[in-house]
Chain A
Amino acid sequence: GQNIDQPTEMTATEGAIVQINCTYQTSGFNGLFWYQQHAGEAPTFLSYNVLDGLEEKGRFSSFLSRSKGYSYLLLKELQMKDSASYLCAVRRPNSGNTPLVFGKGTRLSVIA
Chain B
Amino acid sequence: EAQVTQNPRYLITVTGKKLTVTCSQNMNHEYMSWYRQDPGLGLRQIYYSMNVEVTDKGDVPEGYKVSRKEKRNFPLILESPSPNQTSLYFCASSRGGAGNGYTFGSGTRLTVV
Contacts and interface: CB of A to CB of B under 8 A. Distances in A.
A7 interface: no
Interface residues of A, number: 24
Interface string A41-58: 111110010100000000
Interface stretch (A16-24, A71-79, A92-100): A92-100
Interface string B40-79: 1111110010100000101100000000000000000000
Contact of A98 (B43, B44, B59, B94): B94
B43 A87 contact: yes
A50 B98 contact: yes
A7 to B, nearest CB: 13
Interface of A: 31, 33, 35, 40-45, 48, 50, 87, 89, 95-105
Nearest to B33: A99
16 contacts: A31-B98, A31-B99, A33-B101, A44-B104, A89-B43, A95-B50, A97-B96, A98-B31, A98-B96, A98-B100, A99-B31, A99-B48, A103-B42, A104-B41, A105-B42, A105-B43
B106 A41 contact: yes
B81 interface: no
Given A31-B98, A43-B104, A98 B50 contact: yes
Interface of B: 31, 33, 35, 40-45, 48, 50, 56, 58-59, 90, 94, 96, 98-107
The SS class assigned to the A binding surface is loop
Contacts of B50: 95-96, 98
Nearest to B41: A104
B29 to A, nearest CB: 9
B101 to A, nearest CB: 5
A99 B94 CA distance: 9
